[in-house]
Amino acid sequence: MTFDIDRATVQTATRTATSFARLSFYAAGIFGFVSLGLLASWIWTRLPGYVPGVKSEPVFQVRASVLAHRPQTMKAETNYYGWMQSLQYGQLYDRDVDLTMVMIVPHEQYQTLTRDYATEIVSLRPLHRKRYLMSSNNFYDLETRFGPVRASEFSINADGRTKLCISYLSRFQSDAFYLKGWYCEANGARPSYSALACIIDQLALSKPLKSKEATAFITERMKRSPRCYAEPVSQTTDTGSRRPLRRLIH
C-alpha cells in the first residue's frame, strides 16, 4: 500500500498542529492564572482578622455651628483592618469651610497608642490625590474633652485653588479608636487651631460603635465640660549650646 503525501498536505498538517499547540499553551496559561488567583483568594479569606469590606451605618456626627450650613457626606465600612467612618463637610475645592473627620476602630491586633503622624495623614485618600505641602516644624497640641490631638498646618492645591488647612491626629488615652482628618477655613484664610479644637469637641455618637470600649470612652467624655484650646508643641530637649559642668573637686 502506498501513500501519496504532497508538500501542501504537510504544510496544512503542520499549521494545524502549530495552532493547536498555541491554543493549548494559552489555555494552560489562563487556567494556571485563574487557579492561582482562586488559591490566593482562598488563603487571604482565611487569614486571621480578615473581614470582607462591607458598607456599614454611620454612627457619629459633629454638631458645630460653623458646619451646620455645609453639605454633608458620610461613608462607613468594615474591612480587614477594622471599622471606619468618614464624615465630610464641603469639599477641598470649595471657597467655604470644609472639614473631614475619619474615625477608625481597628481590630485588636492593629490597636496601638503610637501612630506615625505623617503616615496616617498621607493615607487620607483626598489628600493622596492632591498636591500638598505639609509644614515640617509647625505642630500644635489641641486640647479637647476627649483628650489631646496633634495638628499641623499644610497648603494644598485642589483644582487650581490653593488653600491653607490643618491636618490632625488624635492622641486619646484609648487604643480602641482614633480620629484623623483635616480642616480648612473659607476663602484661603489661615485656619485657627483653637477653632478646630472646639469643632472636635462637638463630636457626638448617634448609636453605639462596634467596640464597647470605644463607645464607653466617647460617651463618658461627651459628658465633660468643653475644653477646646491649642498651643504650639513645646520643645522638651535642650538644643542650645551646652556649658561644661563645673568640677566638684578642684
Which pLDDT tens digit goes with each residue over 6-59?
666 655 656 666 666 666 665 666 665 556 655 555 454 444 444 445 677 789
Q: What is the CA radius of gyration of the chain?
A: 29
In this prediction, residue 38 carries a pLDDT of 58
User: What is each CA distance from 97 to 192, 202, 249, in whole angstroms?
Assistant: 12, 16, 65
Burial of residue 52 (CB within 10 Å: 0-12, 13-18, 19+) is exposed
pLDDT digits (tens, 9 = 90+) for 107-120: 989 998 888 988 89
What's the one-letter identity of residue 39? L
Q: Is 221 left (phi over 0), alpha (psi -120 to 50) or beta?
A: alpha
Would you state the torsion angle of the CA atoms of residues 57, 185, 229, 211, taken in this order, to the nearest 10 degrees?
10
Cell numbers at 30, concatenated: 489562563
What are the residue ranges in the chain where pLDDT is below 70? 1-54, 125-137, 235-250
Contact 151, 140 (CB under 8 A): yes
In this prediction, residue 250 carries a pLDDT of 38
Cell numbers at 169, concatenated: 491626629
Contact 154, 92 (CB under 8 A): no
* Phi/psi at 116 (5° precision): -75, 120
In this prediction, residue 197 carries a pLDDT of 96
In this prediction, residue 101 carries a pLDDT of 95
Strands 98-106 and 60-62 turn out to be: unpaired
In this prediction, residue 51 carries a pLDDT of 45
